Amino acid sequence: MVHAAVGYARMKNRLGAFACTSSIGPGATNMVTGAALATINRLPVLLLPGDVFSTHLPDPVLQQLESSAAGDVSVNDCFRPVSRYFDRIWRPEQVISAAMQAMRVLTSPADTGAVTLAFPQDVQAEAFDCPEEFLAERTWHVSRAPADAESLARAVEAISSANRPLIVAGGGVIYSDACDQLRTFCDATGIPVGETQAGKGSLPYDHPSCLGAIGTTGTFAANRVAGEADVVIGIGTRYSDFTTASKTAFRDRGVRFVNVNVADFDAAKQSGVRVVADARAALEQLTDALGGWSVEDDYRAQAARLNREWDDEVARLYTLGHGPLPAQSEVLGAVNDASAPTDVVVCAAGSMPGDLHKLWRTRDPKGYHVEYGYSCMGYEIAGGLGVKLAAPEREVFVLVGDGSYLMLSSELVTAVQEGVKLTVVLVDSHGFNSIGALSRSVGLDGFGTQLRYAGNGAPVLDGDAAPPEQLPVDLAANAASLGVETVRVESVEALREALDAAKQATQTTVIVVEVDRYAGVPGYESWWDVPVAEVSERPAVQRARAEYEAARGAERRLL
């Protein structure tokens, strides 16, 4: 329920939100993960969990957690660290002030996230003669704050003195509806752009200034330019470790930062020039203030050349002809080709978000919907529901791995019940492909990441150490049992045919395709800090530790 609300809010550029209700007990705590996801991604949702009796008369009620140290504690206190605002409504009169605070946070560009108002069971049923003014329709205006003159001047000085500037476009560009302004700014200045997961689609993939994904899951185009950039202009980004490649992406010793963000907390990162402003307003101001300034022609040409070279690499990975099982990149290529510019791809966890970040050819700012702030397994189908509810005119393609599908496949039932059409491409790699690869990268053997029988000469936790005897899991049969149209395909050509049929359908379709779990997309001149055991008797771990220590030498505090 909360995942669907998050998908809806993101698709609406945070200008719409759902309220989600539950009982006390597991109904409430099942929403905690969704609350964390919403708050980390800065997306507004309103949560209304039930709570214990305010009178404490019938204590302990069904599902009540009792504390011997505090009488006012319930499981809803779990929401406090994952909510932007929390209140417990002990009296019905509190609703007025709580609702006003809730709307303040839900409509704040800088401080939004999950808002939790916990309602004791007896208070829920109480009547309250509230003022009529409280029930009157009102408009909450979302501010678009411009940059102040001093910070704008400092930003202009830093940018105009740069030889190799680079823009890092984050989700704030899209949420602020600033994509046209970014394009105008890039056309005028020639500054190239690397995109975060949330910012992917800030520029069309074929714009000559677009270098695509940046960081750990980035393209060679963006990462090469990032390594030499002398000024980095972050617009609406929170600089996650994937964006900065664990503080190794920006290697110029004198690199400086200009950070445009509505949140002072994010604008202050990397000790850069702090521009606390709306992305759209700030881009308009910067375009005017730079007054025709532009990068050198050869730098502009370099970005355009890298854009073309990267697109050639995407085309290669989309058409590998890998066999006997297809590579995951070929599956993504088939879905990308089947989608219209305004269609939406939804994903969240596993190896696909990284591949999508690199490879998906985004043509519309709202065409790319990958939840990667929390990278929550199970988000995909529920999040796709929210996307479709927010944009019923668009086709929604949900890409989900088999491990994540097994976390929350039940929302297919909701899609059937509500008449919501999704096209779900279920990529079967026989387990947890992303974590298997990560395990192998630190010198282990996949460690319990394949869906396989124990035994067969090796315990199941040895992962890839022995040829696996796969479990007889029939994901297509599972999906069909939930009431959706289901197709199992065994080739990229069959997948393309199934996608064409699904586009013509009026109900949800699940297409199951098996892939080679070892045919991954390369990393491109980037790194992610995943510590390797310092002491081990395994030679593979020892080698991985030596490589880790060498790579960690490039990690730096960006001050």
The predicted structure's pLDDT at residue 279: 98
Least confident of 106-120, 231-245, 468-482: 468-482
The predicted structure's pLDDT at residue 448: 81
pLDDT digits (tens, 9 = 90+) for 291-308: 989 999 999 999 999 999
pLDDT digits (tens, 9 = 90+) for 62-72: 999 999 999 99
The predicted structure's pLDDT at residue 224: 98
| Arithmetic mean of pLDDT over the chain | 95
pLDDT band (50, 70, 90) for residue 143 = confident
Rg of the Cα trace of the chain? 25
Look at residue 396 and give its three-state secondary structure: strand
Mean pLDDT of 6-32: 96
In single-letter form, the type of residue at position 345 comes to V
Domain boundaries, the chain: 2-135, 149-310, 319-430+470-514
CATH 3.40.50.970 applies to domain 319-430+470-514: yes
Q: Phi and psi for 54 in degrees, rounded to 5?
A: -65, -30
Quick one: what percent of the chain has pLDDT higher than 70?
A: 97
- Please report, for residues 52, 95, 500, the alpha-carbon distance to residue 124 in angstroms, rounded to integers and kept in the order given: 11, 11, 49
pLDDT digits (tens, 9 = 90+) for 319-370: 999 989 999 999 999 999 999 999 999 999 999 999 999 999 999 999 999 9
Checking if the pLDDT of 75 tops 60, the result is yes
Mean pLDDT of 37-52: 97
Q: List Cβ neighbours of 69 (8 Å cut-off, separation of 6 or more).
A: none
pLDDT digits (tens, 9 = 90+) for 164-199: 999 999 999 999 999 999 999 999 999 999 999 999
Per the CB < 8 A criterion, the answer to whether 399 and 347 are in contact is: yes
Checking if the pLDDT of 468 tops 90, the result is no
pLDDT band (50, 70, 90) for residue 458 = low
Checking if the pLDDT of 508 tops 90, the result is yes
pLDDT band (50, 70, 90) for residue 457 = low
Least confident of 304-308, 314-318, 553-557: 553-557
Checking if the pLDDT of 467 tops 70, the result is no
pLDDT band (50, 70, 90) for residue 447 = confident
pLDDT digits (tens, 9 = 90+) for 159-172: 999 999 999 999 99
The predicted structure's pLDDT at residue 462: 60
pLDDT band (50, 70, 90) for residue 465 = low
Checking if the pLDDT of 526 tops 70, the result is yes
pLDDT digits (tens, 9 = 90+) for 237-284: 999 999 999 999 999 999 999 999 999 999 999 999 999 999 999 999
H, E, C per residue of 248-295: CCCCCCCCEEEEEECCHHHHCHHHCEEEECCHHHHHHHHHHHHCCCCC
Q: How many CB atoms lie within 10 A of CB 80?
A: 11
Number of H helices, E strands in the chain: 22, 16
The predicted structure's pLDDT at residue 446: 80
Q: List Cβ neighbours of 263 (8 Å cut-off, separation of 6 or more).
A: 42, 110, 111, 238, 276
Q: What superfamily would CATH give domain 2-135?
A: Thiamin diphosphate (ThDP)-binding fold, Pyr/PP domains (3.40.50.970)
Checking if the pLDDT of 223 tops 80, the result is yes
Helix pair angle (328-338, 297-318), 10° resolution: 110
Common-topology check for domains 149-310 and 319-430+470-514: yes
Quick one: what percent of the chain has pLDDT higher than 90?
A: 92
The predicted structure's pLDDT at residue 459: 58
pLDDT band (50, 70, 90) for residue 461 = low
CATH number of the domain located at residue range(s) 149-310 in this protein: 3.40.50.1220
pLDDT band (50, 70, 90) for residue 463 = low
CA atoms within 13 A on the CB side of 401: 28
Checking if the pLDDT of 452 tops 90, the result is no
Checking if the pLDDT of 464 tops 80, the result is no
